Amino acid sequence: MTIIVTGGAGFIGSNFVFHMLKNHPEDRIICLDKLTYAGNLSTLAPVMNQSNFRFVKDDICDREAVYRLFEEEHPDIVVNFAAESHVDRSIETPEIFLQTNIIGTAVLMDACRKYGIRRYHQVSTDEVYGDLPLDRPDLFFTEETPIHTSSPYSSSKASADLLVMAYHRTYELPVTISRCSNNYGPYHFPEKLIPLMIVNALHDKPLPVYGEGLNVRDWLYVEDHCKAIDLVIHNGRVGEVYNIGGHNEMRNIDIVKLICNALGKPESLITHVADRKGHDMRYAIDPTKIHNELGWLPETKFADGIEQTIDWYLHHQEWWETIISGEYQNYYDKMYGNRAVLV
Ligand code: NAD
Ligand code: DAU
């Protein structure tokens, strides 16, 4: 089979490319990626010369380029990871999120309609469900939880999900959607909580925790997410949504303290700063459906996954040093330079 993986030079997409090449060597993997600030070609260097892998630098919003690729490759499956993915950036500049996350999804699905496809898979997020209160630990997101978004990012992802379902109903496009909780692991861009704290701690820089740090996220090791998508594209039912999460809820402040301790850095580096606008309190996935239907369960315990992740950052300094020495510095100064410090 020929599989187009969009956004394969980013965090989860690259881990998925590696997963597929390793576990399905008979398949041909085409990575379509625009190489935005979040895409990194060096990540894909180990597979670049593999005969069943091709990298194409293009924008999923570029209809001509996408159609050309479909004419060349006749894909059987498209897995769409390509997106603007950072909530904080969406609060600063929403428009690019609408462009890539909504229009890009429509262009990809139009190509699937025009040239035919066995499966279009949309990689979505638990953020489309909004958030849960901290005082109701009995509540979880199921596939039936109403869409109720908070940020321009989550709204753009929810819009894309609605379009995907509309293309299924209207054009009978064979689609699936997965909605996953927070991922962590290798190649995570250092604008996100876990890699940002690791990188800052290694430089003895302040660790900027938004507000009191009581917000809860449900962390999943990235390889477990890749395995779940692999199952959904092969065995998932067309027209269905699958939630993916590991029942691994943690408060931000506890994650940051854990990172300090693991790296032997003082917790006094922790700096409470002004909160994110519209900050979601708690995410928690109920993964019963994917477990019952497809037999998926998370395999990596958080204690092991976070240790492996910290170790990966310690041993791949060149990968993230290159990133943070470029445009990232301007981003960091803009987002954190004037942010109020809470006492
Ligand atoms: P990322 O920001 O690390 O990577 C995004 C990739 O998409 C980059 O390689 C970038 O170059 C590429 N891209 C962006 N715009 C593009 C365009 N117009 N055309 C082609 N390529 C483009 O993102 P990530 O964290 O790996 O997330 C991947 C997907 O998974 C996203 O759709 C995101 O919404 C979803 N998701 C992420 C998480 C998470 O915890 N990171 C959890 C659930 C769902
Ligand atoms: O839940 C899935 C989502 O998880 C994905 O859809 C998004 O693409 C992904 O970025 C992630 O969104 P979050 O906003 O939860 O992730 P982030 O790493 O940006 O933040 C995690 C928590 O940490 C959140 O409560 C905000 C907080 N935070 C984040 C940063 C970057 C801080 O306290 N300080 C920081 O500097």
Which residue has 């908070």 as its token pair?
150
Ligand 1 midpoint to CA 265 (Å): 31
User: What are the structural domains of the chain?
Assistant: 2-188+219-247+279-301+327-342 (3.40.50.720)
Provide, for the chain, the percentages of residues in helix, strand and coil under a 3-state DSSP scheme, each rounded to the nearest 5. 45, 20, 35
Is the predicted pLDDT of residue 339 greater than 90, yes or no?
yes
Judged against a pLDDT cut of 90, whether residue 239 lies above it is answered with yes
Residue nearest to atom 6 of ligand 2 (CA): 125
Nearest atom of ligand 1 to the alpha carbon of 104: 18
CA quadruple 283, 305, 332, 98: dihedral sign: negative
CA 126 / ligand 2 centre spacing (Å) = 12
* Catalytic site residue from 33, 59, 84, 126: 126
Question: What is the structure's pLDDT at 73?
Answer: 98
Query: Do the Cβ atoms of 290 and 232 come closer than 8 Å?
Result: yes
Q: Which residue reads 């428009």 in tokens?
A: 95
The per-residue pLDDT for 29 is 98
Per residue in 245-297, pLDDT tens?
989 999 999 999 999 999 999 999 999 999 999 999 999 999 999 999 999 99
**Cα 170 to chain centroid, rounded:** 28
Average pLDDT over residues 30-42: 98
Beta carbon of 120 within 6 Å of any ligand 2 atom: no
**26 in catalytic set:** no
For a substitution probing ligand 2, which of 217, 260, 306, 333 has the most ligand atoms within 8 Å of its CB? Answer: 217
Model pLDDT for residues 200-231, shown as the tens digit of each residue:
999 999 999 999 999 999 999 999 999 999 99
Q: Does the C-beta of 83 come closer than 6 Å to ligand 1?
A: yes
Instruction: Give the pLDDT band of residue 188 (cuts 50, 70, 90).
Output: very high
For residues 123-128, average pLDDT: 98
Q: What confidence tier does 309 reach under pLDDT thresholds 50, 70, 90?
A: very high
Looking at the CA of residue 183, tell me the nearest atom of ligand 1: 40
Single out the catalytic residue among 59, 127, 161, 223: 127
Give 197's pLDDT tier (boundaries 50, 70, 90).
Answer: very high
Average pLDDT over residues 115-131: 98
Cα 105 to Cα 107: distance, rounded to the nearest angstrom:
6
Mutate to test the pocket of ligand 1, among 63, 84, 85, 283 (most ligand atoms within 8 A of CB): 85
DSSP structure string for 242-253: EEE--S-EEEHH
pLDDT at 126 exceeding the cut of 90: yes
pLDDT at residue 54 is higher than 90: yes
What's the pLDDT tens digit per position in 65-93?
Answer: 999 999 999 999 999 999 999 999 999 99
What does the pLDDT average to over 177-205? 98
Residue tagged 């600063």 (tokens): 92
Tokens 């909160």 sit on residue? 275
Residue 343 pLDDT greater than 90, yes or no: no
Give the pLDDT of residue 326.
86
The rounded Å distance from CA 231 to ligand 2 centre is 26
Mean pLDDT of the chain: 98
Looking at residue 27, what is its pLDDT? Answer: 98
C-alpha–C-alpha distance, residues 68 and 72, integer Å: 6
Q: Is 328 a residue of the active site? A: no
* Burial of 209 per CB tally in 10 Å (0-12, 13-18, 19+): buried
Q: Report DSSP state, residue 285.
A: B
Run of H or E including 75 = none
